Copies of this chain bind each other. A is one copy, B any other.
Amino acid sequence: MIIVLKPGVSDEDLNNFKAYIEKFGVKVDRSQGENQTVLGLVGDTTVINDDAIKANRLVEKVMRVQEPYKRANRMFHPLDTILDFDINGRKSKIGGGSFAVIAGPCSVESREQLISVANDVKKAGAMFLRGGAFKPRTSPYSFQGMGCQGLDILVEAKKQCGLPIVTELMEFNQLELFEDVDMIQVGARNMQNFNLLKELGRCRKPVLLKRGMASTMTELLMAAEYIMAGGNDKIVLCERGIRGFDTFSRNILDLAIIPALKKKTHLPVIIDPSHATGYSWMVSSMSKAALAAGADGLMIEVHNDPEHALCDGEQSLTPDAFASLIEVLRKYAAIEGKVI
């Protein structure tokens, strides 16, 4: 951390300020110029609050050199994190050369619907089954998901087709209901629900952490850090579009975050082109682009009858369209040395 002081700081003030900072366990290097004094902090600055430093009357500017996260930081953990799953001997993984496709309907609507979609996406090559049981909806008058019944249907589908299941947890005290869920999704709106993150840190289940709609990359990694600080490092990061000024797509899919995350963190990164664009006819090109950009997987909405979906039908692929997409993705994956 570099601290530029205001002009004219007295020696006494400077010494007191240095002493204050050294209490955090860091060493303070001083660079005295003609017009300005610069302090360089050496050591673990993650425990120092930038805001508190900026509020000090002596301080002109502050710049972080080290990132504020440690456990999620590739600098300290150079090897890629790989998540392994085993459903009755059927093994799958995220990261490490596996291109993991998670597919299924936006929300679980019935036993028949889910089993049908589950079999279709498995046959096409999906590695995980997704489906929402508890749905965050903008309107209190919209369908809010089937709740616990939806969870039961998911677990049954998992038993029948052998795919690990991914579904969203909206409330940490419902965690016990998710015992048979293989990966817990934290939705974009909950990326900074810190109590939820802390609780997920205490459990040992893989977590699919979605980037918030207006969250920076650093905030996403700090959210992961919350979970990791609790001891759970099985985290998959997911870009799902950020809010923008144009309306041709629902959100802006920020694919450049893939190489940026690959540089900054060891955690796997997947892309959700369905929520990002909001339109099924954009999903194919954005899926290919995500693979080409270096993603470790995709999360795609597939519905057997998009027109009558209770939620987000406009962005869902039919099982046939999904199967065709996987065919093309396999060609791209081969170039990148990845396996779907």
Contact = CB atoms under 8 A, between A and B. Distances in A.
A252 B249 contact: no
Contact of A285 (B189, B194, B259, B276): B259
A288 B29 CA distance: 42
Contacts of A306: 55
Contact of A38 (B40, B46, B219, B244): B40
A204 interface: no
A35 B31 contact: no
Interface in A291-309: 291-294, 306-309
Contacts of A290: 289
B35 A256 contact: no
Interface string A228-266: 010000000000001111111100111111111001000
Interface of A: 2, 4, 27, 29-36, 38, 40, 42, 46-47, 49, 51-52, 54-57, 60-61, 63, 65, 68, 136-144, 170-173, 189-190, 192-195, 198, 213-214, 216-219, 222, 225-226, 229, 242-249, 252-260, 263, 276-277, 281-282, 285-286, 288-294, 306-316, 328, 331-332, 335
Given A51-B311, A141-B229, A214-B214, 6 more contacts: A36-B40, A38-B38, A138-B219, A217-B248, A255-B286, A260-B282
